[in-house]
Chains A and B, each alone.
Chain A
Amino acid sequence: MAPVTRWLRLPASPVEHSVEGRGFVFSGFVVAVLAIVLYGQDYVVPVLGVVAAAIGHVISYRERSRRRGFWRQVVLAALVFGALFYVIADSSLALFGGVLPQANFAILLVAITSFDLKTRRNCYSSMWISLAILYLAAVYAWDYAFAVLAGLWVLCLVGFWIASHHKRLNAELKGPARPVALMLGAALLGGLLSFVLIPQPSGVPISPLVVSLPNFTAFKGGLESPALPLVQLTGDPSGATSSIDLHFRGRLGDAPVMYVRTGAPAYWRGLVFDEYRNGAWTATNHGYREMQPYVPPRFLPPAPPGNLGTFVQTFRVLRPLPGVINAAYPIQSLYAPVAALREDAYGTFHTPQPLRPGQTYSVVSFLPNLTPAVLRAAEPMDQEHLDAYPDNYSIYGDPSSVSARASNLADEVTQSASTEYDKVMALTTYLQRNYRYTLDLPPVPAGKDPVDWFLFDVKTGYCEQFATAETLMLRSLGIPARLATGYATGDYDPILNQAVVREHDAHAWVEVWFPGHGWVPVDPTPGVSPLAATKFPSHWAGGGIARLIPHLSIGAPAAALGSLGVLAVVPPAVAVALIAVLAYAWLRRRVWTARPRPQPGESELLRLYERLQRRLTRRRAPPETPREYQEAMQSALLAEVTQAVNEGAYAGRWPDPRRVRDLAERIS
């Protein structure tokens, strides 16, 4: 046992004597806490943590050479357990507001352990916990200003490395300024360029990202209110009985609804509707099954055949939302910080309560391989398929709600299409090309069917009307289809792999049943891809930047600076500092080049002459001429060197550096 214990024991870590290194450790912690304050809107614990950590650092440094006291260790251990209790209580019962309990725990952990920061390893631990805090803040960071904080933290890490290394050498903390600055600048710039230009590899997600721990409020009744703002509330709060009435539509603002960190841009699907009656969509199947907050793959439908892998989405809710999990479908697994989840008959997940601002959930979705070629090759719908799936084909294939005009139009548009996919695409492109998208649409006249009114009268409409028209026309052709609602991708940033979803991104589209592929999203709304399937974005920033350029205008840089807030001073300050440094370097170089420079061989020869005097154990006395010194010392080599020195000093003929090197080798 003893050898095992000895083997497991870490090697002793030296006491960290570098006050500069400790300063960098503390600074790294402050940067991480600042990130939490700015991006997590969490204030009390971070401020307390920084103050406590500052005191702890001072005490630790002053007592770094003393032995650890038993009672102090006991108190610190008790405080760590207290912090652990805090995080459990806060995350489960929201006793302290439930704001970023993990980050607060990490902050408290650093603050407590700051009182026992004795060795270099302790400092490293503190630094890595700071990194964890920064990571938690990064989950909530949706703008480029966070890069400034990340860069500052990296500089703190570098500072700690440098200070610690120099202290280990027992050397003063300084170095050749220009090379070190060049190294750091090259690293920061190179890292930034690599980040921007090189695509992020898509790793296989192991599980959804757990950011916040669940609370324990369970379902109290039926499903919670449906997805606003497209879906209208009915008298029944259950989402299953909610509806979309095409007769009217509310105004959609620009306010952000949620942030989505995603490996691929996709439509964030919410509720699905299958029955259309009298201009309104409803869901007929009210069945559901209750599940745990973490839904593993085994409880979900199997992976689509030939899928391109999986990707993670992390959603951060910005405004109160109905308890519906909007996500890319099909889902592989998901985690939501709630007590339980319910999956409705259409595969949509619901939470017990409305989603509150700041709440996050994470979903792993499959990336189906939905190319035109693959879908065109899908088997035709036959009786076997109809029997197998979809289970309520009677509704999906019900042509009764379609007018004869609409049905005829569908036949006419698709008469030349042979496969199911071609029919779907013919209808989709027909609607996209011949109908105009608008949000300024008057209410549907009384007595008019919204679909017919859209198709044959106004020929303009919004997404629900496009989607409804296509769904009904597909049904008239015998192709199972249904209406899906949720949100479009939003403003997708290909560099940060994130999207800002706003109210006006609320969207409706069609889901078409393809045998062997399941429900495939198709979007007839003009201006978007007809096959609105999830695609991997062009990770290469060349593509990403190209997407960003059209948005740039003269005011864009100013707007970008303004969005940085207080940190807006940093880029101009860096630019001014850079200009000042370059100007100083230029001036210095000018002065340096203007100064008379020693001729080749001069300084080398004089250094050699000094060295030779040391070797001869007697230096030339100040009044002694080189020749007198040479005569006194009686050295053949000295005679040569003296002659060279005299020739250089008095005749201006300094020897070739190679000759000096030869002389130096003879001394050695």
Chain B
Amino acid sequence: MCLVLFWYGATSEVPWLFLLAWWVLALVAAAAGYAAWNRSGLSLQLAVRNTVIGAGSPAEQLPEQVLQRGPIPAPVFEGDGFGLEIAIQASRGARGPVWALGLVGDRSISAGTGLVPKGGWSRVEALPALRRGPVAARGWRIHTSDPLGFFRGVRPTPDSEIALILPRFASLAGRREASELEASLPVPRAGSGNELFGIREYRPGDSLRRIHWRSSARHGELVVREYEPPGVQSLAICLDPQPPTPEVADQIARIAASEAWDCIQEGGQVVVWAPGLEPSQSPRDLWSQLEWLARYPNNPSGGVPRSGRQEVVVITASADDDLLANASRAWVVGDVEIDTDIPFERVGLQWPL
């Protein structure tokens, strides 16, 4: 269009068209220069900004103290939506217009702005509930142009994992026959063992040596350390290494997360693993277990859990005798026939159970 206008204006007997043609041509040239300048110094960052807690989400039930130790800014469970923050940084001063396009999971997302200030620009895009597992940002590109939209530039950014959708869980303690299972196990309570159990407020009579000065300074009142007594519950949750379908894997992860939560909130330790897969770390940390379960069954391979005085719970969808050999009890997902003497409970794919 510009060339046509320029040709016509340049050869027109009306000189004002020649001026218009020059202006349009100069605009195009200036826009090209602007577009080249606008391409540099931009970077894209994607992160979870907030969550929209769905009905029945564990996030509603978890105590504040537990949530504070969770992922930043908040854990995202199955059924929760979340806000994806698309942030563009301009390291060499304000830029614009800039827009970014890419995939989050299977969803195509775009966001753009006319101005990326020196301090950066961000927009939060609400995403609906996603399936358990890592959420990848794939194929994201930073697009730039001049303000008129004549010349464009594209810069790809590396794929990344922006969120981990954790399995849902709920306490299953009520479903089990507590008398059978729990009577034989010591109730975890604070004692005078060697391993740190936690902290609590100072009560008259506590030894001054047990005062945790740093925490006391933070809380504004005296806080003492508590040490766990010997013999707390130690739970090994062994999962089916090859769940037949993703839906079965989801259900196994949910049951495992529920078992882990029940154990940890009672002060116990949990390790989650599956044959051939690396066991989970940090046995007292709920979030470590949930992250392991979020990736199940695609966790890194290798290792076996440290053996010890543990209760072993198996959650499976297949009749694997080896898996059930050392189990104390089991959950069976689906209709598979198993031949075992250990107590087990059969569940379907509905959640909550």
Contacts and interface: CB of A to CB of B under 8 A. Distances in A.
A183 B34 contact: yes
Contacts of A153: 20
B7 to A, nearest CB: 8
A139 B112 contact: no
A171 B113 contact: yes
B351 interface: no
Interface string A200-236: 1111110001000000000000000000000000000
Interface stretch (A187-195, A333-341, A501-509, A547-555): A187-195
Interface string A535-568: 0000000000000000000000000000000000
A648 to B, nearest CB: 19
A172 B14 contact: no
A44 interface: no
B26 A190 contact: yes
A472 interface: no
B20 A171 contact: no
Contacts of A202: 11
A263 interface: yes
Given A135-B17, A141-B16, A158 B22 contact: no
A496 interface: yes
B15 A200 contact: yes
A314 to B, nearest CB: 6
Interface stretch (B146-154, B233-241, B311-319, B330-338): B146-154
B47 interface: yes
Contacts of B34: 179-180, 183
B232 interface: no
A568 to B, nearest CB: 19
Most buried by B among A154, A170, A187: A187
Contacts of B17: 135, 138
B251 interface: no
Contacts of B29: 187, 190
A614 interface: yes
Interface in B59-101: 69, 71-72, 93-97, 99
A67 interface: no
Given A188-B26, A190-B30, A165 B113 contact: no
Contact of A135 (B14, B24, B97, B114): B14
A124 to B, nearest CB: 10
B30 A174 contact: no
Contact of B23 (A151, A495, A497): A151
Interface string B106-128: 00001111110000000000000
Given A170-B110, A174-B114, A183-B33, A497 B94 contact: no
A172 B113 contact: yes
Contacts of A147: 16, 19
Interface in B16-51: 16-20, 22-27, 29-31, 33-34, 37-38, 47
A162 interface: yes
Contacts of B10: 200-201, 203
B13 A184 contact: no
Contacts of A141: 16
B337 to A, nearest CB: 42
Contact of A175 (B26, B96, B111): B96
B16 A158 contact: no
Given A138-B14, A147-B19, A312-B13, A172 B114 contact: yes
A191 B114 contact: no
Contact of B11 (A186, A203, A617): A203
Interface string A242-257: 0000000000000000
Contact of A187 (B27, B47, B97, B115): B27
Contacts of B258: none
A164 B149 contact: yes
A157 B27 CA distance: 11
Contacts of A618: 69, 72
A436 to B, nearest CB: 37
A72 interface: no
Nearest to B160: A668
Interface in A251-276: 261-263
Nearest to A147: B19
B24 A154 contact: yes
B71 to A, nearest CB: 5
Contacts of A190: 22, 26, 29-30
A180 B113 CA distance: 14
A209 B22 CA distance: 22
Interface in B113-167: 113-115, 145-149
B147 A183 contact: yes
Given A164-B149, A179-B34, A190-B29, A497 B15 contact: yes
Nearest to B71: A617
A485 B186 CA distance: 126
B306 interface: no
Given A170-B112, A496-B15, A191 B149 contact: no
Contact of A158 (B99, B115, B148): B148
Interface in A265-308: none
B203 interface: no
A23 to B, nearest CB: 16
Contacts of A200: 10-11, 15, 18
A261 B252 CA distance: 87
A153 B72 CA distance: 52
Contact of B112 (A134, A150, A171, A495): A171
A498 B23 CA distance: 20
A188 B23 contact: yes
A161 B16 contact: no
A617 B75 CA distance: 10
Contacts of A496: 15-16
Contacts of A628: 214
A176 B42 CA distance: 14
Given A173-B114, A619-B72, 7 more contacts: A168-B149, A176-B115, A192-B23, A201-B10, A496-B15, A614-B47, A617-B71
What 4 A-B pairs are tightest by C-beta distance, nearest first? Answer: A203-B11, A165-B149, A191-B23, A191-B26
25 contacts: A134-B16, A138-B17, A146-B16, A154-B23, A158-B148, A161-B149, A165-B147, A169-B112, A175-B96, A175-B147, A176-B94, A179-B38, A183-B33, A183-B146, A186-B30, A186-B33, A188-B26, A191-B19, A192-B22, A194-B26, A198-B22, A261-B14, A495-B15, A498-B15, A619-B72
Interface of A: 131, 134-135, 138-139, 141, 146-147, 150-151, 153-154, 157-158, 161-162, 164-166, 168-176, 179-180, 183-184, 186-188, 190-192, 194-195, 198, 200-205, 209, 261-263, 312-314, 495-498, 614, 617-619, 623, 628
